[in-house]
Chain A
Amino acid sequence: MAKLTLPAQELMYSGHAACPGCGPALTMRLVLKGLGPRTVVSIPACCWTVIATPYPTNALGVSVLDNPIEATGASLSGLRAAADALGYKDLNVVGFAGDGGTADIGLQALSGMLERRTNAIYVMYDNEGYMNTGVQRSGATPLGAWTTTTPVEGSSRGKPESKKDIMSIVLAHRPTYAATINPAFPEDFVRKVEKARDLTGPRFLDALTPCPPGWKYSSEQSIELGRLATDSGVFPLYEVEDGKYHITRKGGALKPVDDYLRAQGRFHHFTPEDVQAVQAEVRRAWEHLLLLEKETA
């Protein structure tokens, strides 16, 4: 029988406004468990703007600052500058932004924050689209996925382009620490948050966060889907510290991506050839990751 492996303190309260099975809600809960109450979170326009609940209520037990969608990186630089100027030494400065606010419209401010080596933690919760505004495609939407702006009708068969590789973009800035996190693996998740917390400099956490209404599956399957994402190699769990890659979950042979794709309505139109194409891409990326781990060991 396993011991309790996660911090007991809850800094995200019940009564929040997330959908049942919301990956971003689980992610915030676990991030705050890892960071503790001496935390200020900057949140751009995203699902979490709403999940935190409207004025005058608040679902979070930490300081929250709202910022426009494209400016999270800059907000972190401002918060850290003020914390330094005012002598707040033990404050976690954290950005909590969606994939659109990070990989699309927020990319410039993120790049600036990483290049300036702002001492802050940037968490991207990736639900692979603009889910709060009606499930439009983002640069992080995977190849072939249905969204409301990449429909499956007429001449359109989902998103024609591949998913933007945000981790590679971030790693090109040589951050202190970058890791992928998955709320379906909470121990690995919180360990990485705690590791990030105890380092200084720019730190980036990339969370895959299943979204029942956006991905078209039943809400009780969020954890199962999250596990499948990692165990099929679609979303490998790894961390990069000082340029060294370390894969934190290797469950033997990868499961076929078919199970992961078939569980989601956004891929229901996939032909066997489409599945094969994704499988080939996932296998190639996994081999590449193994190579990076070996080369940087």
Chain B
Amino acid sequence: MTRLVMSGAYAQSYAALLAKVQVVSAYPITPQTSIVEKLADFVALGKLKAEYIKVESEHSALQVCVSAAGLGARTYTATSSQGLLLMHELLHWASGMRAPIVMGVVNRAVAPPWDIGADHTDTMAQRDTGWVQIYAESNQEVLDTVLEAYRLAEDPMVRLPVMVTEDAFYLSHTVEPVDVPSGELVDRFLPPRDARAVLFPGVASRLGSFTGPDHYVEFRRDVARAMENVPATFAAVEAEYERLTGRSHGGPLSTYRTDGADAILLTMGTAATTARGVVDELRAEGKKVGLAKLRMFRPFPVHAVRDLAATVDRIGVMDRSYTFGAAGPAATEVAAALYAGPRHPTVSGFLAGIGGRDVTPGEVRRMFGALLAGEPTDIRWIDLEEQQELKIDG
């Protein structure tokens, strides 16, 4: 174990290095991050024995990974916002071909207008593509989660691609101390890929194929079953990782000071860090509030959300993206999960941090204030309220 100070981008690179990925492919679309630059250094210096394919588009980057995974290689790519949108078609191919690709995504806003700040619109637009989605809160969590993601993706019960995301700038370009496990330890945790379910050269076989309704439904159901197997598999993977490293990031959904809470705020990514501090402040002021951190968005942890609702009557959900004409994606999912469950607390949606705007402790306080006051549950653009107040104050 070594402690290094590194950005969230480099945490992805170091994890890919430790995972001994065999094929890397990437394209510097508007904007790539230093993830792939660091990997180029690792390959050039001989630290990583990988084929690094520098392609001419993000679409091709993911196709390289899909095809390489089809022959049995362990693959990695990274992207962001527009690049992820361009990959959309291949995202479906990756899951449909059961390619255990791991991809780092730096969550950024989508154009127009151009904005490279943290925003979850890019990955939320991919939530229906059959990829496991895990949102990290810290650089340490980025590194650990990428390693866990390979075990999860390559597990015979799963065999699905995984994207490990991190908020732009707050993680990708911010350095933090990160404990880097030794290569020997990672080798024990993550052995070479078992490539039995792939194309074998010289053997008549077909990966992809075409079919009609007589078989197509079964293929889709297989992907659905694989998704259903993720929670149990991930729990086992995380337990083993904890045994080896002493670190756990709390499963798909973790809670903080929710005991006896009158209101719980659910957040994703880096906003959880800010919200945790606010929870401590409000608790100190005698207000019974707690935090839920949603780490895994796909598969959505339906049962964990229902457990969360067992004792609380007001849940706020902070989304960093908005589904136009509907609501925040996480708020919608939380409400849907609760509807079929035994208890139905009020679910309030908040939009904050859009396009990289700061999610301040003041904003989080406003969300808790609204929850505790039992204010109407319509979606609220906290960002705009803050801005209007600043203008008034100024």
Chain A residues engaging chain B, CB cutoff 8 angstroms: 37-40, 42, 49-50, 52, 54-56, 58, 60-68, 70-71, 73-79, 81-86, 88, 91, 108-109, 111-112, 115-116
Contact = CB atoms under 8 A, between A and B. Distances in A.
A108 B57 contact: yes
Contact of B67 (A49, A61, A75, A88): A75
A82 B53 contact: no
A76 B71 CA distance: 11
Nearest to B23: A81
B55 interface: yes
Chain A CB within 10 A, most for which of B22, B72, B210: B210
A62 B206 CA distance: 8
Contact of A81 (B73, B89, B204, B212): B73
Contacts of B201: 38-40, 63, 83, 88, 91
Contacts of A37: 202
A221 to B, nearest CB: 29
Nearest to A79: B67
A82 B23 contact: yes
Contact of A74 (B22, B59, B70): B59
A81 B55 contact: no
Interface string B82-108: 000000011001000000000000000
B364 to A, nearest CB: 43
Interface string B182-211: 000000000000010001111111111111
Interface in B54-68: 54-57, 59-61, 63-68
B50 interface: yes
Given A58-B204, A68-B93, A78 B23 contact: yes
B93 A82 contact: no
A281 to B, nearest CB: 32
Nearest to B52: A81
Contact of B204 (A61, A75, A79, A112): A61
Interface string B349-376: 0000000000000000000000000000
A112 B23 contact: no
B22 A85 contact: yes
Nearest to B214: A54
B388 to A, nearest CB: 45
A54 to B, nearest CB: 5
Given A52-B206, A58-B205, A82-B73, A42 B57 contact: no
A68 B63 CA distance: 9
Contacts of A81: 22-23, 25, 51, 53, 64, 68, 73
Contacts of B391: none
B67 A67 contact: yes
A196 B71 CA distance: 22
Contacts of B89: 68
21 contacts: A39-B202, A40-B71, A42-B67, A54-B211, A55-B210, A58-B205, A65-B206, A66-B206, A66-B208, A67-B66, A68-B93, A71-B90, A73-B60, A74-B63, A78-B67, A81-B68, A85-B22, A108-B57, A109-B57, A112-B57, A116-B54
Interface of B: 22-23, 25, 50-51, 53-57, 59-61, 63-73, 89-90, 93, 195, 199-212, 215
Given A81-B73, A86-B72, A67 B205 contact: no
A74 B67 contact: yes
Nearest to B93: A68
Nearest to A38: B202
B92 to A, nearest CB: 9
Contacts of A63: 199-207
Given A38-B201, A78-B23, A81-B51, A64 B60 contact: no
Looking at B60, B66, B205, B211, the one whose CB has the most chain A CB atoms below 10 A away is B60
Given A40-B201, A52-B206, A71 B68 contact: no
B53 A85 contact: no
Residue among B54, B55, B89 facing the most chain A CB atoms (10 A cut-off): B55
A78 B65 contact: yes
Given A78-B23, A78-B53, A82-B22, A65 B63 contact: no
B102 to A, nearest CB: 15
A61 B206 CA distance: 10
A25 to B, nearest CB: 16
Given A54-B211, A85-B50, 11 more contacts: A42-B67, A63-B202, A64-B199, A65-B67, A66-B206, A67-B66, A71-B90, A77-B67, A85-B68, A86-B72, A86-B195
Nearest to A41: B206
**Interface-central residue, A37, A76, A112, by most chain B CB under 10 Å:** A112
Contacts of A77: 25, 53, 55, 60, 64, 67
Nearest to B193: A86
B76 to A, nearest CB: 12
A116 B53 contact: yes
Which 8 pairs show the lowest CB-CB distances between chains A and B? A66-B208, A78-B67, A74-B60, A112-B56, A78-B64, A82-B71, A81-B51, A74-B63
A109 B208 CA distance: 19
B200 to A, nearest CB: 7
A111 B64 CA distance: 14
A78 B72 contact: no
A81 B70 CA distance: 11
Contacts of B69: 78, 82
Nearest to A60: B204
Nearest to B209: A55
A77 B65 CA distance: 9
Contacts of A82: 22-23, 51, 67-73
Given A63-B202, A82-B70, A85-B50, A115 B56 contact: yes
Nearest to B208: A66
Interface centre among A62, A81, A83, A108 (most CB of B within 10 A): A81
A72 B88 CA distance: 17
Contact of A112 (B55, B211, B212): B55
Given A65-B67, A65-B70, A81-B68, A111 B207 contact: no
Contact of A86 (B61, B71, B205, B208): B71
Given A49-B210, A58-B205, A71-B60, A78 B199 contact: no
